[in-house]
Structure 1
Amino acid sequence: MRTHPINFLRITGLLDGFSFLFLLCIAMPMKYALGIDAAVSVMGSIHGAVFCLYALAILYAAIRVNWSLWWSAAAFIVAFIPFGNFVFDFKLKKAVTKYKMKPFNPALIVYSIVFFSFIDLFAQLPVMSTFAASVGASTFIVGFVVGLYSLTNTAGNVLSGILTDKIGPFKLLMAGLVLTSCTLLLYYFVESPAFLIIVRIFHGFVAGLIVPAAFTFSANTTINNEQGKKVAFTGTFVGLAAIIGPAFSGIMASKTSVPFVFTCIAVLGLILAVLSAIFLRKYKVSKTEKEVNVHTSAGSFFNIGVIKAYCGAFFLMFSQGVIAYLLPLHVQTLGYDSRLSGTLLSTFGIIAVLMFVLPTNRIFDRVAPSVTMAIGMGLLGISQMLISQSTTTLALYIVLGLYGIGFALLFPSINTMLIRATTAELRGKAYGYFYAFFSLGVVAGSSVLGWLSLSIIGGFLFTGVILLLTSVTIAFHKNKDQVLNH
């Protein structure tokens, strides 16, 4: 008989309650009264591990039990109150027979895999350059090491796309999760720039296997009239990774080490690999020609919808590369603290996530993706130009909020456009190239501006003009298509 999630929550809750009491009533008096510091260190570590297990039980119950979020909130709060877990257990005991289990939705694992892939990327941003320098890398090698991930990631994206169509997305997801997690553990053994380069090559390549397979799996298991909304919800996890990743790695690396940060992410990857093996292995992916957009001819690949999606992917990440490169420099030039750059980027991420999860996500199934794509690209261009003219913190926050709206409109649009422009049999390959353009866009965003030797303001203005011209081109081509159809 399958264990009810509430029973699992009860067991872990009681363990958490006992470990919390041991920490408060035994370990802390031993430290402060008897001077045994190790008591708190050991018991604190045990309690931390039990609490992590309890948190997973809360999450699992929230997913599988048909109850309100208030139960999850209460379960979390009582963990910080002495004897709270024991009182709450009486409520949970009665709830076992009252609340039934919901069917498990495998999309939750796919969303989590997307989160893992992108938090792996974003967690590197604040720490990789300093980590490379700490093992003796020169200034040139530091820059090379940072960019090497994106370059090899591109190759992984392309290979993943090709193999996904041949052997299915599940095997690529499993390979990507296991290999990426194992590669993250190799950072513990990095003691020289040469070995770091080798690790970065493998890391970027195997991590590139995950995202095309994950998005292909998601696209091939979604009905047509919900594709835009589901892609927007997937974008939520990308946005959360962009918000959580840099903050998590920056804080944890300062208190522990960079390899420890990557180990935490590796553990998440291995957990997802186990869950994928259990829940996704037997999940059937339907392949039907009904998914094909009316403008897509059978067997064609580089049609206009695919080309637009690739251009959108490239220029979206080109814009991101410019923001990552120039925004900290602009903030520093204005005389503000460097922490402002982080909060500005978090603002853009939060606005994008809200656009993804609120009812605003319905727009992606009600408005043609080429329209939302053109608007989103235009807002990114306008934001880039406005950043160059913003000199106060309020103005910068407003402009980055506008940038977040543009990002939120553009990301689901190009994904939906790609889904509608390809058949299920070619979608893996399509997504492989799609995310290769993502990786190339990040590299181009910073390297092109560096090559042109533009000033900070000039770089923002140049990028804004490029994005606005692209937006106008997309809008013009849509209108041209409408005239031809009439």
Structure 2
Amino acid sequence: MKQFIFIIVLISFIDMFAQLPIMSPFAKELGATPALIGLAVGMYSFTNMFGNILAGYWIDKHGSKKVLLAGFFLTGLIILLYTVVFTPWQLIAVRFLHGLFSGFLVPAAFTVIANRGKEGKQGKSMAVSGVAVGISAIIGPAFGGIIASKYGVNWVFISIAIVMLVIFILSAFVIPDTTKQITRKIEPPVKTLVALLKNPMLSISFSGAFSLMFAQGVLAYMLPLQVDSLQFGTQYSGILLSTFGITAIIIFALPTNRLFDRYQHQNTMMAGMSVIGIALIFLSMSTTLSFLFICMVIYGTGFAFLFPSISAMLVKHTDLETRGKAFGLFYAFFSLGVVIGSSLTGILAVSFATGFSIAACILFANTLWTFLYFRSKAGVTESME
């Protein structure tokens, strides 16, 4: 069961990562202008946010299994539509639907993981699931690029769609249905979402998700420009990104994953944000290839501490009736961070050094805010005693 859930998370993220190297060239082949290419690429993340939020509500109402099955089935069918698009606007329409329905997958998958996790072991559980995310980040782009170059871009979509539909069938038999454990009284969606946002611990988790993916969006946009400006080979952009992913996977998979339950989640969260911020500052000053690799190892270490911490914090402060919506919001903030991080640096037309510095400041500011919150909370507790 654990291995199958690992595969579910892996496939859910490969769907996103495999399209990264092929979507812009695909849109260009259809005759899209630069503006339409940007719209086509960004549309997925934009509608993915709404899919995450809708999924969260339906998970708590109908159970994570049903939403997961719907996500795999609908996403598999929508991906097949890429093979019959002939204009940029048709592509944008498919991207709209793809982002919306694939938004069901990740909140549902992580809700399944969270509901099956043992009390007090949420950090380790989320760290292990982070291995799947890291592996998909490494093999997804390579898979998309290799299949597209050898067999054509349509076979990327066909192969992913087939895998999605196979996982849909297997999930129907393997994933247990936990709907019975959920109280049927469901509050109005907007009211519940507002209540979740007002929860201080969940707000800290959401802000951590946004900060992490804001930095990720800046990194994805700026690192290739930096590598190009330093006149290194373009292949090093992918190798550097893989370095951070491999570093994170090693920390997730080794006994170091016990640290996420040994220390308070907010402490490992602040450590992770600080380490990523330091890595970004170093990146802004990097002029040699060896130092870039060192920076990405540092970045991967920070990512490995931050991701499980904010996920486990969410699990700890939710229950079966609210966890789905909480994960939906959580991954909506993920998508929002990527969209704002990459688009803001593009709109401002800043240098890679400035872009990395902006992202670092966001992380340091969030670290400071989190530290001050828990310090004031501790002060209130002491005064009451």
- Quick check: TM above 0.5? yes
Q: What percent identity do the matched residue pairs reach?
A: 47
More moved, 380-389 vs 110-119: 110-119
Aligned to 1:223: 118
Structure 1 segments of 4+ aligned residues over 3 angstroms from their partners: 281-288
**How far off its partner does 1:140 sit?**
0.7
The corresponding residue for 2:276 is 380
Post-superposition shift, 1:479? 2.3
Change (3 A) 1:210 1:128: same
- Structure 1 gap ranges (5+): 1-104, 289-298
Residue 254 of structure 1 and its aligned partner are, at CA, apart by 0.7
Q: CA deviation at 1:204?
A: 0.6
Count of paired positions? 371
Deviation at 1:452, TM superposition (A): 2.7
Change in CA separation of 1:285 and 1:352 when aligned onto 2, cut-off 3 Å? farther
Q: Distance in 2 between matches of 1:285 and 1:236?
A: 30
SS at match of 1:225: coil
Please say if 1:416 is aligned against 2:316.
no
- Within the candidate set 133, 140, 143, 1:245 is matched to 140
Partner SS state of residue 337, structure 1: coil
1:361 aligns to 2:257 (yes or no): yes
| Displacement of 1:323 | 0.3
Contact 1:220 1:285 in 2 (8 A): no
Q: Which amino acid letter does the alignment assign opposite residue 272 of structure 1?
A: I
Read off the aligned partner of 2:65 and give its amino acid letter.
F
Which residue of 312, 326, 333 corresponds with 1:430?
Answer: 326
CA distance in structure 2 between the partners assigned to 1:191 and 1:471 by the alignment:
47
Unaligned runs of 5+ in 2: 184-193
Structure 1 position 277, deviation (Å): 0.8
- Residue type of the alignment partner of 1:114: V
- 1:159-211 superposed Cα distances (whole Å, 9 cap, x missing partner): 00011111111110000001111111111111111211111111111100111
The verdict on how the C-alpha distance between 1:439 and 1:282 changes in structure 2, with shifts beyond 3 A counting, is: closer
Matches within 5 A, 1:34-433: 105=1, 107-282=2-177, 301=196, 302-433=198-329
What displacement does 1:226 show?
A: 1.3
SS at match of 2:304: helix
Q: Give the alignment's Cα RMSD to 1 decimal.
A: 1.5
Give how far 1:272 is off.
1.1
Could you list the per-position Cα deviations for residues 234-291 of structure 1 after superposition, in whole angstroms to 9, with x for gaps in the alignment?
Answer: 1110000000001111111111111201211112111211111111144677569xxx
Could you tell me how far 1:113 is from its partner in structure 2? 1.5
Bigger Rg, which one:
1
TM-score scaled to structure 1, two decimals? 0.74
Worse-superposed segment, 378-387 or 265-274: 265-274
C-alpha distance in 2 between matches for 1:364 and 1:206: 31
1:366-400 CA-to-partner distances (Å, cap 9, x unmatched) read: 11010000010011111111101111111000100
Match of 1:468 among 344, 364, 372: 364
* Counterpart for residue 190 of structure 2: none
Distance 2:85 2:248 in 1: 36
**Does structure 1 conserve the Cα–Cα contact (< 8 Å) formed by 2:71 and 2:102?**
yes
Q: Which residue of 1 aligns with 2:381?
A: 485
The superposition leaves residues 330-380 of structure 1 with CA deviations (integer Å, 9 ceiling, x where unpaired) of 000001111000000000000000110000000111110100000100111
Aligned 8 A contact 2:12 2:106 in 1: yes
- Cα distance in 2 for partners of 1:248, 1:151 equals 24
In the alignment, is the contact (CA less than 8 A) between 1:252 and 1:261 conserved in 2?
A: yes
1:252 counterpart letter in structure 2: I
Q: Is the CA contact 2:60–2:182 (under 8 Å) kept in the aligned structure 1? A: no
Higher relative contact order (CA 8 A, sep 6+): 2
* Aligned-residue offset at 1:125: 0.8
Q: CA deviation at 1:453?
A: 3.0
Whole-Å separation in 1 of the counterparts to 2:374 and 2:320: 25
Is the contact between residue 63 and residue 177 of structure 2 (CA under 8 Å) also seen in structure 1?
no
